[in-house]
Amino acid sequence: MEAAGTCEIARLPEELLSAALALTTPRDACRAAAVSRDFHASADSDAVWSRFLPRDPPPLADGELSGPAPPSEKGRFLRLCDRPVLLADGLMSMWLDRETGAKCYMLSARALRISWGDTPEYWRWMHPPESSHRFMEVAELQYVWWLEIRGMIHSKMLSQDSTYAAYIVFKTTDRRDGLDYPPQEASITVAGSTSTHKVCLQSYDNEHEDGAVPLTWRYSRRHRRVFPGNLVLPQRRTDDWMELEMGQFYNKDGDDGEVCISLMETKAFKRGLIVQGIEIRPKRGHNTQHGG
């Protein structure tokens, strides 16, 4: 039966196979090419991969896609997956999610609204360590009580029918203080609806006296506090920066609205935070569609 089925597939016109594969995702197309020789030509065709490329990409900075053009639409897609490109204002970068084709963005520190960000006593702007997003500046917190960082992106810039998550991308210095307690409040507002939850820019899991931290609690030896287990903690990235999920949202039709993202804490002295920006990318484990 398998041989017969394979034979029937081989009889289908390549245009029909391409049309069907174009309705899937980049990951599905690559899998189809890998498991069946009959699918290979169709799965790699320009007719398929042109559907995975964004139909309305934002304007890019001059020279961002300079150099020889990729020989195929699949090559163009992979080029936009492999390295973020700067947008025309130089304050944001964009790339494509390799599995889904959804548009991803990084809002640089300069694109954010940081309370007291232009006051040198509170925040210092400096050239970043090596960054995959190539922004010219990052913001280092000198000291402040009122920590408030806000970012915004238009819904129409994002891929439709996609579940996204927003992450603040940061590092901390050796002089960090006040980033572990009290916990910060992160929120995302879409179409007038706001979701809010507690997050923590620094984790002290490894400083528990006996080295054993209950799964349902987080502990800060320095402040003698316990935190609920649902407190969101940062994760280390492959580029050696840290990221902290600030929440997630569903972008349905990409209407001309705004997605507003914020991080806030105003009850304690804080210092030693270096902000690269806020990254917005598809949330894994959800049915994110390609394109848009």
Q: Are residues 113 and 254 in the same domain?
A: yes
- For range 6-22, the mean pLDDT: 69
Q: What's the predicted TM-score (pTM) here?
A: 0.84
Q: Are residues 39 and 167 in the same domain?
A: no
DSSP letter (8 states) at residue 87: B
Question: In terms of pLDDT, which residue wins out, 193 or 229?
Answer: 193
Q: Are residues 48 and 121 in the same domain?
A: no
CATH of the domain at 25: 1.20.1280
Whether 155 maps to a domain, the answer reads yes
pLDDT of 10? 59
Whether 158 maps to a domain, the answer reads yes
Paired tokens of 32? 């189809």
- In DSSP notation, 103-160 reads EEEEEEGGGSEETTTT-TTTEEEE--SS-TT--S-EEEE--BS-EEEEEEEEGGGSPT
Is there a contact between 149 and 116 (Cβ–Cβ < 8 Å)?
no
Number of domains in the chain: 2
CATH of the domain at 170: 2.60.120.260
pLDDT digits (tens, 9 = 90+) for 32-66: 777 777 677 777 888 888 899 998 889 999 888 88
Residue type, 13: P
Q: Is the pLDDT of residue 217 over 50?
A: no
Paired tokens of 12? 């289908």
Q: Is the pLDDT of residue 225 over 60?
A: no
Cα–Cα distance measured from residue 208 to residue 95, given in angstroms and rounded to the nearest whole number = 40
Q: Are residues 80 and 118 in the same domain?
A: no
Whether 43 maps to a domain, the answer reads yes
Q: Are residues 232 and 185 in the same domain?
A: yes
**Number of other CB atoms surrounding residue 291 within 10 Å:** 20
Q: Are residues 77 and 187 in the same domain?
A: no
pLDDT digits (tens, 9 = 90+) for 96-113: 999 999 999 999 999 999
At 227, the pLDDT band (50, 70, 90 cuts) reads low
Q: Are residues 164 and 132 in the same domain?
A: yes
Cα–Cα distance measured from residue 191 to residue 169, given in angstroms and rounded to the nearest whole number = 25
Whether 94 maps to a domain, the answer reads no
pLDDT of 253? 79
Paired tokens of 47? 């007719």
**Number of other CB atoms surrounding residue 1 within 10 Å:** 5
Q: Are residues 80 and 211 in the same domain?
A: no
Whether 97 maps to a domain, the answer reads no
Q: Is the pLDDT of residue 292 over 60?
A: no
Q: Are residues 40 and 111 in the same domain?
A: no
Ranges assigned E (strand) in the chain: 85-86, 92-96, 103-108, 113-114, 123-126, 138-141, 147-154, 162-177, 184-190, 193-199, 217-220, 225-228, 235-236, 242-251, 258-265, 271-282
Question: Which helix H or strand E contains 106, and what residues bound it?
Answer: strand 103-108
Strands 123-126 and 162-177: what pairing? unpaired
Q: Which domain holds residue 49?
A: 2-57+69-89
Q: Are residues 6 and 120 in the same domain?
A: no
Most confident segment among 8-17, 131-140, 168-177, 280-289: 168-177
Whether 149 maps to a domain, the answer reads yes
Q: Are residues 183 and 270 in the same domain?
A: yes
pLDDT of 289? 45
Whether 288 maps to a domain, the answer reads no
Whether 244 maps to a domain, the answer reads yes
- For range 14-40, the mean pLDDT: 77
Distances (CA, A) of 240 to 129, 172, 179, 216, 260: 10, 11, 19, 27, 26
Q: Are residues 78 and 114 in the same domain?
A: no
